[in-house]
Amino acid sequence: MNSKTHTLWTIQTIDAWNELQNNGFLTGKEQFIDPYFKRGYDWMKDQMKSRIEKPKTENIYPIWAWYQYQNSNKRKPDLRGTGFTKKGQEAVRIEFVKKRKSILLSDFGLWHYPLNYMTYIGSNKSDALKFKKKLQNHNLENSQFDQLPITFQNEIKTSWNKIFDMNFQDPYYTTPFDQKQIQATFWELRIDKVVKVDRFRAK
């Protein structure tokens, strides 16, 4: 974790791989984001702006990669698995290196809270139940995020910062660092940083 560079892996379509080869670089594009998840992506984009280097232009979105696909002993994505992209689609696993200061690591499991604009991430089970009780006391337990008072929304958003804390390991929410699935987001992938490319057909 203290290295100045990290080896990462990103799964991309053949079209994206061709773009990377033709242009020498690849950036994330809004057109490929499912509208349902757009707000979660915008949240991550804002986090990246405040935590790592700024993007060269405002109209780009994060690229996703794996720092730790399964755990610390199985960091590289196993292409025998499923769910990488549409079944039967040809894709690539790109291995590359990136400077540590250029990437933002986050807990893949906990990422689904801000991705779906879900509820509060407590420090532990007791903290989570305390927040749930507070919602109940205000008759808000069944409210969607946008229906909550702004003070509650801000408290929930602040709790999401835990997804970036690689030392956070409360068993109610997540696992120790060496057992986590850890994703990396960054602004740009350059062809000269590519180490290896493996083509595969998604299962």
Higher-pLDDT residue of 3 and 13 is 13
Average pLDDT estimate for 116-144: 96
DSSP for residue 24: S
Nearest residue to 66 (alpha-carbon basis) of 57, 53, 75, 78: 75
Q: How far is CA 93 from CA 65, 87, 147, 181, 187, in A?
A: 10, 15, 41, 17, 18
pLDDT of residue 122: 97
Nearest residue to 95 (alpha-carbon basis) of 202, 199, 195: 195
pLDDT at 13 over 80: yes
Give residue limits of the domains in the chain. Answer: 5-108+181-201, 117-164
Residues in CB range of 51: below 8 A, 6 or more apart:
104, 164
Burial classification of residue 170, based on how many CB atoms lie within 10 Å of its CB (0-12 exposed, 13-18 middle, 19 or more buried) = middle
Q: Which strand ranges, in their side-by-side order, compose the sheet holding 5-13?
A: 104-107, 182-186, 63-68, 5-13, 90-99, 194-201
Burial classification of residue 28, based on how many CB atoms lie within 10 Å of its CB (0-12 exposed, 13-18 middle, 19 or more buried) = buried
pLDDT of residue 1: 60
**Number of CB atoms found within 10 A of residue 195's CB:** 11
* pLDDT above 70: percentage of residues in the chain: 99
In CATH, the architecture of 5-108+181-201 is Alpha-Beta Barrel (3.20)
Tens digits of residue pLDDT in 48-80: 999 999 998 989 999 999 999 999 999 999 999
3-state secondary structure 37-65: HHHHHHHHHHHHHHHCCCCCCCCCECEEE
Tens digits of residue pLDDT in 85-119: 989 999 999 999 999 999 999 999 999 999 999 99
**Strands (DSSP E) along 69-174, which ranges?**
90-99, 104-107
The structure's pTM equals 0.95
